[in-house]
């Protein structure tokens, strides 16, 4: 069966079609600049590519464009949209309502709406995609796969903040965590690679992309994660600061005379790698400068690695050790010097990497175990595949329904 996987943002729709259970990707693409005077529509199969421009007013039109591309004779993915058995949506926030993926019903739509205050930028866009599919192809079952779901297993002492308890009750201010689909996916892959059931493994999964988070996965369950109430907390990211003394925000408001909107922009869009390195937030450029001997690039990479290392120490304490550290996503899969700097810090905790293997990791190959011989904690680079994870959950939900 074919599963259409959708990731709907405020002005874009990313899509893939996967044939399940074979897990074969048939086509991937994007509709960009929705709502702007001119939009871009692109789809790629293994051999063919189609790209055109035309105005796409809203998500309903965007979904129609996706469906038109899937049935386009030039790309020849499918003859009719009837060949789509299900649609799986990436949904950012399931709040405390969902700890697993679900088939979408009216109640699920209401819950996603109810969680909009927790993800005011993302949930409305995800919802637009779901409603557009309901309108355009009403007969096709849809599922919601939440970024937050995997982390709902965290204990209360890990997810609560030490602020007046009433704010948890009033606003649900607590750690939710994000990137759950990716952390879960690579944790399961690690179980396969290490040939051990997840129930016997203590894993630390580092999803390092433009957004970045790290998770303690104790016997298959997320027990702590670095992103918090919002994706701002934790590691240094492309444009986000990650952890900082919260009093800095008050100091800046007072001394720079900026309001809370500007603080929000400062910490989410102007900090992290772009704030520190200024020239770029692309790790490829920082890496290039690092190899040329640039002192700032070295400092930035070391800061980035050191923050990861601190979390690894904390999560080893939380789980009573670790069997493996997993690196994934754009930066995690592609930045050997970062992994090397982190390994140098972590030597005392039983980590160690084979530097040659570390330098040879090529993104999108299956996985690379870069552990040094004799290291008591393994280090493995595993490419993430969130679309496949969404397709798998959607396929399983559908199988469950038909049983």
Q: Does residue 283 belong to the site contacting ligand AMP (CB under 6 A)?
A: yes
Cα–Cα distances in Å, from 146 out to 143, 278, 296? 10, 33, 37
Pick one of 205, 335, 371, 394: the residue that binds ligand AMP (CB under 6 A). Answer: 335
Q: Does residue 334 belong to the site contacting ligand AMP (CB under 6 A)?
A: yes
Pick one of 41, 69, 316, 331: the residue that binds ligand AMP (CB under 6 A). Answer: 331
Number of residues that bind ligand AMP (CB under 6 A): 12
Among residues 147, 218, 224, 393, the one annotated as catalytic is 147
CA 161 to centroid of chain Cα atoms: 23
Pick one of 234, 272, 330, 383: the residue that binds ligand AMP (CB under 6 A). Answer: 330
**SS (HEC) of the chain:** CEEEEEEECCCCEEEEEEECCCCEEEEEEEEECCCCCCEEEEEECCCCEEEEEECCCCHHHHHHHHHHHHCCCCCCCCCCHHHEEEEEEEECCCCCCCCCCEECCHHHHHHHHHCHHHCCCCHHHHHHHHHHHHHHCCCCCEEEEECCHHHHHCCHHHHCCCCCCHHHHHHCCCCCCCCHHHHHHHHHHHHHHHCCCHHHCEEEEEEECCCEEEEEEECCEEEEECCCCCCCCCCCCCCCCCCCCCHHHHHHHHHCCCCHHHHHHHHHHCCHHHHHHCCCCCHHHHHHHHHCCCHHHHHHHHHHHHHHHHHHHHHHHHHCCCCEEEEEHHHHHHCHHHHHHHHHHHHHHCCCECHHHHHHCCCCCCCEECECCCCCCEEEECCCCHHHHHHHHHHHHHHHHHC
**Residues numbered 30-59 forming contacts with ligand AMP, rule: CB under 6 A:** none
165-173, 326-334, 354-362, 390-398 -> range binding ligand AMP (CB under 6 A): 326-334
Cβ-based nearer residue to ligand AMP, 96 or 282:
282
Under a CB-based contact definition with an 8 Å cutoff, are residues 115 and 108 in contact? no
Direct distance between the N- and C-terminal alpha carbons of the chain, in angstroms, rounded to an integer: 16
Q: Does residue 383 belong to the site contacting ligand AMP (CB under 6 A)?
A: no
In whole angstroms, how close is the CB of 287 to ligand AMP at the nearest point? 6
Pick one of 48, 219, 279, 284: the residue that binds ligand AMP (CB under 6 A). Answer: 284
In whole angstroms, how close is the CB of 119 to ligand AMP at the nearest point? 18
Cβ-based nearer residue to ligand AMP, 179 or 378:
179
In whole angstroms, how close is the CB of 284 to ligand AMP at the nearest point? 4
9-17, 93-101, 113-121, 280-288 -> range binding ligand AMP (CB under 6 A): 280-288
Q: Does residue 394 belong to the site contacting ligand AMP (CB under 6 A)?
A: no
Cβ-based nearer residue to ligand AMP, 2 or 335:
335
Binding mask 80-119 for ligand AMP (x = CB under 6 A): ----------------------------------------
Cβ-based nearer residue to ligand AMP, 257 or 364:
364
Q: Which residue is nearest to ligand AMP (CB)?
A: 330
Active site residue 106: no
Cβ-based nearer residue to ligand AMP, 119 or 133:
119
Q: Does residue 180 belong to the site contacting ligand AMP (CB under 6 A)?
A: no
Q: Does residue 287 belong to the site contacting ligand AMP (CB under 6 A)?
A: yes
In the complex, which residues of this chain contact ligand AMP (CB under 6 A)?
Answer: 209-210, 238, 282-284, 287, 329-331, 334-335
Active site residues: 147
């Amino acid at each position: 069966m074919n599963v259409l996987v959708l990731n709907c943002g405020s002005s874009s729709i990313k899509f893939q079609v996967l044939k399940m259970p074979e897990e074969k990707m048939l086509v991937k693409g994007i509709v960009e600049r929705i709502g702007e005077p001119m939009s871009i529509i692109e789809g790629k199969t293994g051999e063919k590519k189609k790209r055109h421009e035309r105005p796409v007013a809203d998500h309903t039109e965007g979904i129609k464009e996706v469906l038109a591309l899937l049935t386009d004779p030039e790309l020849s993915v499918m003859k009719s949209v009837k060949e789509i058995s299900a649609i799986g949506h990436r949904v950012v926030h399931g709040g405390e309502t969902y700890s697993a993926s679900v088939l979408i019903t009216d109640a699920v739509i209401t819950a996603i709406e109810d969680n909009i205050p927790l993800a005011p930028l993302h949930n409305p866009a995800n919802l637009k995609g779901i409603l557009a599919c309901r309108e355009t192809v009403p007969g096709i079952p849809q599922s919601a796969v939440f970024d937050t779901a995997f982390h709902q297993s965290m204990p209360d002492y890990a997810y609560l903040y030490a602020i007046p308890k009433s704010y948890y009750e009033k606003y649900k201010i607590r750690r939710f965590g994000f990137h759950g689909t990716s952390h879960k996916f690579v944790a399961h892959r690690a179980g396969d690679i290490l040939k051990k059931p997840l129930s016997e493994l203590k894993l630390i999964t580092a999803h390092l992309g433009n957004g970045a988070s790290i998770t303690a996965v104790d016997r298959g369950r997320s027990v702590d994660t670095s992103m918090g109430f919002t994706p701002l907390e934790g590691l240094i990211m492309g444009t986000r600061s990650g952890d900082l003394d919260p009093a800095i925000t008050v100091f800046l408001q007072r001394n720079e005379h900026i309001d809370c909107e500007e603080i929000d922009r400062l910490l989410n869009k102007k900090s992290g790698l772009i704030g520190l390195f200024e020239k770029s937030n692309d790790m490829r450029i920082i890496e290039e400068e690092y190899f040329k001997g640039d002192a700032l690039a070295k400092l930035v990479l070391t800061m980035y690695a050191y923050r990861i290392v601190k979390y690894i120490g904390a999560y080893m304490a939380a789980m009573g050790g670790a069997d493996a550290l997993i690196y994934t996503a754009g930066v995690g899969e592609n930045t050997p010097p970062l992994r090397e700097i982190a390994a140098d810090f972590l030597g005392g905790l039983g980590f160690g990497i084979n530097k040659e293997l570390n330098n040879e990791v090529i993104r999108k190959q299956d996985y690379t175990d870069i552990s040094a011989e004799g290291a008591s904690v393994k280090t493995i680079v595993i490419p993430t595949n969130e679309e496949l994870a969404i397709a798998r959950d959607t396929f399983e939900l559908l199988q469950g329904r038909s049983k």
